[in-house]
Chains A and B, each alone.
Chain A
């Protein structure tokens, strides 16, 4: 009797279309993650039942450090191709293939199957985009207001952070536009590359790409976000799991060493200024013989303000808009010493001929400090073009 009841309930839930995952209660079309995997403009162009799209990004960079020009060149930074297939009313699959710096780095950034059961609970499996901070979930260059991603994303969290995993996501409507969304996955987690591949000290991004699990011990990653209305959201996310190979053939060869990362993100619009930010703390269990060289505690944040202006100023481009932006970046690679950090301020002037294309002109100025706390100044002018296609 109990089994039949479960079967009946399950069939009822499965019947709810996956499309509902992108629909807040009472607000059809609002994406589950704004700017995320299924909130991309050209995915609407179906090829059979598969939508194909992508984005491209090109940079011109002039970067100086302590009076010396370190970069003066161009890069075909990214060319990403993504697909989304509505397999059935309740099953969809999305994928993203990234080509970075030509063919220097080619990786399957996302390839996940969603099984829609109910807006409150759906399954996702495959190569997931870890819900570790909002930026990792929505990091497409045409949406970003700066040429470079926030330092915390590049240096601390390793955006784009995708991991093989399995878990659930869903949303709970709170009446009107308000809602709570969540994602929770078991993933392979980080590998010991965060230590063994890095001579600079602990570098969490070097422990990414743990495609084949290194320690038979899944990690957990999840995010809960509350959004009272479109454009306003606060999220809390975390990632915890063992990074080292502590067991071989069932025999314990080392202590289990965990990595824990906590991220708080938020966005709001105040007086026409769009505010965004993210702050992260990481705790890495380092073997005693490496403490003092490899950091046990890291942290960082970015805060960004964007003010659009000049909509329609360019008469031949009625959808065009300008925007001024400012961003503060801070990454502290070792919170237990005075140095080993980076602080940067960025100013941006953007022009969007349409919503999906952006030309960005950025000035960056900052300083990094080595582990002796010796300062090195950096500055740069960056120009980039990014567009969805």
Chain B
């Protein structure tokens, strides 16, 4: 039986622990490393984290035109962004991405009149290394472009050709068309391309891979007068550092498997959500052992689907049409609001403020599942929403 002195000591220790702050549970954060990394990989993770959060000032190479000052400035705690971080993609002079900010001396872009515009909310960054490690064959096995099984769900790969500046030894950059698995329409096949273009397009920072500034073609003002930092503004090592970081970012842990959620899982499958939001895929070999040959509970097939006219942006991207979107993973929804100031911003442009609203905005191939969800009893609807929200 503990003595009063023991309890007093415990109280002091507990108080002191909180008095000097405590770490959040690793499963509750979006910026923790994946389990099983080596000390060298952890060191690279920490350095990459620093680079990911490094804000650029004009004196560091920001701009001349840009969207934000760092990776972390758009991805809240490495998760999704808020509506004020939405990037606009458009066709026309200055496209494909609107850079609506500029450093002093440069001129920001404006949307051309009548341009087809597609808003894109910054997606979560965690788990992308696991997604990268899923073999193409695993994803292609889920494709059913012609809906041969007649379930109304097709699932189509976005075949893309990596730009020539991406080294061919990068995963997803092997010769020939590759499966696009990153970005909202799956128009990018390699993480290196994703990171390099984010620096170039979003922050206006040139690198060894893309050493020429992105300038505003809508103005005659020379950008060189504004951005006097010599190009490339960051070395390839910085890109690779961020790459190492996001590759080993762990997805947050799902919530406890309560009876309500077990029932929700059954309903999730029965209404057809799992046809596209495939609960688990297996990774294959990886140069990072912690990523290799393990289940990934991402709830996505990483394929393109017709989501109907309500969600269409009418702006093709690669081979993805104006009504197609890549199935977004559902992992991390449990803690989403914790990093968005209590809010939820779902779907490609963040228009949905709750999981329920997001489901009800589904159309196209998902119309059937959406209607079956809408027809659920209140108890079943609550159960499935609780299940999805616990991922």
**Which residues of chain B come closer than 8 Å to A196, judged between CB atoms?**
57-59, 103-104
Question: Please, which residue of chain A has its CB at the minimum distance from the CB of B84?
Answer: A292
Question: Please, which residue of chain A has its CB at the minimum distance from the CB of B85?
Answer: A372
Is A379 in contact with chain B by the CB < 8 A criterion?
Answer: yes
Residue in B23, B54, B77, B106 whose CB lies within 8 Å of A68 = B23
Q: How far is the CA of A246 from the CA of B35 in the complex (A)?
A: 53
**Which residues of chain A come closer than 8 Å to B82, judged between CB atoms?**
372
Contact with A along B41-60 (1 / 0, CB 8 A): 00000000000001111111
Q: How far is the CA of A67 from the CA of B22 in the complex (A)?
A: 4
Contact with A along B73-97 (1 / 0, CB 8 A): 1001100001010000000000000
CB distance from A152 to the nearest CB of B (A): 22
Residue in B24, B69, B102 whose CB lies within 8 Å of A66 = B24
A287-B104 CB under 8 A given contacts A196-B59, A199-B55, A372-B82? yes
**Which residues of chain B come closer than 8 Å to A64, judged between CB atoms?**
20-21
**Which residues of chain A come closer than 8 Å to B55, judged between CB atoms?**
198-200
**Which residues of chain B come closer than 8 Å to A253, judged between CB atoms?**
105
Contact with B along A356-389 (1 / 0, CB 8 A): 0000000101000011111001111100000000
**Which residues of chain B come closer than 8 Å to A372, judged between CB atoms?**
76-77, 82, 339-341
Contact A293 B69 (CB under 8 A): yes
**Which residues of chain B come closer than 8 Å to A65, judged between CB atoms?**
21
Is A114 in contact with chain B by the CB < 8 A criterion?
Answer: no
Question: Would you list which residues of chain B between 284 and 315 have a CB under 8 Å from chain A?
Answer: none
**Which residues of chain A come closer than 8 Å to B104, judged between CB atoms?**
192, 195-196, 244, 254, 287, 290
**Which residues of chain A come closer than 8 Å to B141, judged between CB atoms?**
none
Residue in B21, B54, B60 whose CB lies within 8 Å of A379 = B21
Contact A293 B101 (CB under 8 A): yes
The residue in B22, B76, B77, B104 that gathers the most chain A C-beta atoms within 10 A of its C-beta is B104
Is A319 in contact with chain B by the CB < 8 A criterion?
Answer: no
Is A44 in contact with chain B by the CB < 8 A criterion?
Answer: no
**Which residues of chain A come closer than 8 Å to B12, judged between CB atoms?**
none
Question: Would you list which residues of chain B between 211 and 268 have a CB under 8 Å from chain A?
Answer: none
Contact A293 B57 (CB under 8 A): no
Contact A197 B59 (CB under 8 A): yes
Please classify the interface of chain A as helix (H, G, I), strand (E, B), loop, or mixed, using the class held by over half of its residues: loop
The residue in B57, B59, B70 that gathers the most chain A C-beta atoms within 10 A of its C-beta is B57
Q: How far is the CA of A66 from the CA of B104 in the complex (A)?
A: 36
CB distance from B231 to the nearest CB of A (A): 18
Q: How far is the CA of A370 from the CA of B76 in the complex (A)?
A: 9
Question: Would you list which residues of chain B between 351 and 373 have a CB under 8 Å from chain A?
Answer: none
**Which residues of chain A come closer than 8 Å to B76, judged between CB atoms?**
370, 372, 374
A199-B69 CB under 8 A given contacts A292-B84, A293-B101, A339-B341? yes
Is A3 in contact with chain B by the CB < 8 A criterion?
Answer: no
Contact B108 A379 (CB under 8 A): no
A290-B19 CB under 8 A given contacts A195-B58, A196-B59, A372-B339? no
Question: Please, which residue of chain A has its CB at the minimum distance from the CB of B340?
Answer: A372
**Which residues of chain B come closer than 8 Å to A378, judged between CB atoms?**
21
Is B118 in contact with chain A by the CB < 8 A criterion?
Answer: no
Is B62 in contact with chain A by the CB < 8 A criterion?
Answer: yes
How many residues in A have their beta carbons less than 8 Å from beta carbons of B?
35
Question: Would you list which residues of chain A between 228 and 271 have a CB under 8 Å from chain B?
Answer: 244, 253-254
A289-B101 CB under 8 A given contacts A67-B21, A372-B77? yes
Is B196 in contact with chain A by the CB < 8 A criterion?
Answer: no
Is B189 in contact with chain A by the CB < 8 A criterion?
Answer: no
Residue in B56, B84, B107 whose CB lies within 8 Å of A199 = B56
Q: How far is the CA of A381 from the CA of B20 in the complex (A)?
A: 9
Q: How far is the CA of A378 from the CA of B19 in the complex (A)?
A: 9
Contact A293 B339 (CB under 8 A): no
CB distance from A383 to the nearest CB of B (A): 15
**Which residues of chain B come closer than 8 Å to A197, judged between CB atoms?**
57, 59
CB distance from B198 to the nearest CB of A (A): 15
**Which residues of chain B come closer than 8 Å to A363, judged between CB atoms?**
19
Question: Would you list which residues of chain A between 188 and 208 have a CB under 8 Å from chain B?
Answer: 192-193, 195-200
Is B68 in contact with chain A by the CB < 8 A criterion?
Answer: yes
Contact A374 B54 (CB under 8 A): no
CB distance from B29 to the nearest CB of A (A): 9
Q: How far is the CA of A290 from the CA of B108 in the complex (A)?
A: 9
Question: Please, which residue of chain A has its CB at the minimum distance from the CB of B76?
Answer: A372
**Which residues of chain B come closer than 8 Å to A290, judged between CB atoms?**
101-104
**Which residues of chain A come closer than 8 Å to B341, judged between CB atoms?**
338-339, 372-374
Contact with A along B13-46 (1 / 0, CB 8 A): 0000001111110000000000000000000000
CB distance from B107 to the nearest CB of A (A): 8
CB distance from B325 to the nearest CB of A (A): 25
CB distance from B172 to the nearest CB of A (A): 30
Q: How far is the CA of A91 from the CA of B68 in the complex (A)?
A: 52
A66-B101 CB under 8 A given contacts A199-B62, A292-B84, A372-B76? no
**Which residues of chain A come closer than 8 Å to B103, judged between CB atoms?**
196, 289-290
Contact B23 A293 (CB under 8 A): no
Q: How far is the CA of A192 from the CA of B103 in the complex (A)?
A: 11
CB distance from A118 to the nearest CB of B (A): 45
Q: How far is the CA of A229 from the CA of B105 in the complex (A)?
A: 52
CB distance from B43 to the nearest CB of A (A): 15
**Which residues of chain B come closer than 8 Å to A379, judged between CB atoms?**
19-21
Q: How far is the CA of A13 from the CA of B54 in the complex (A)?
A: 56
CB distance from B174 to the nearest CB of A (A): 36
Q: How far is the CA of A193 from the CA of B58 in the complex (A)?
A: 9
Beyond A67-B22, A198-B55, A290-B103, 7 additional pairs, beta carbon < 8 A: A66-B24, A195-B104, A292-B84, A293-B101, A363-B19, A372-B341, A379-B21
21 A-B contacts (beta carbon < 8 Å): A64-B20, A66-B23, A67-B23, A195-B57, A195-B58, A195-B104, A199-B69, A199-B70, A253-B105, A254-B104, A254-B105, A289-B103, A289-B106, A293-B73, A363-B19, A365-B19, A372-B341, A374-B76, A374-B77, A378-B21, A379-B20
Please give me the 8 A-B residue pairs with the lowest Cβ-Cβ distance, nearest first. Answer: A199-B55, A67-B23, A372-B76, A196-B58, A199-B57, A289-B102, A377-B21, A373-B341
User: B residues within 8 Å of A by Cβ?
Assistant: 19-24, 54-60, 62, 68-70, 73, 76-77, 82, 84, 100-108, 339-341
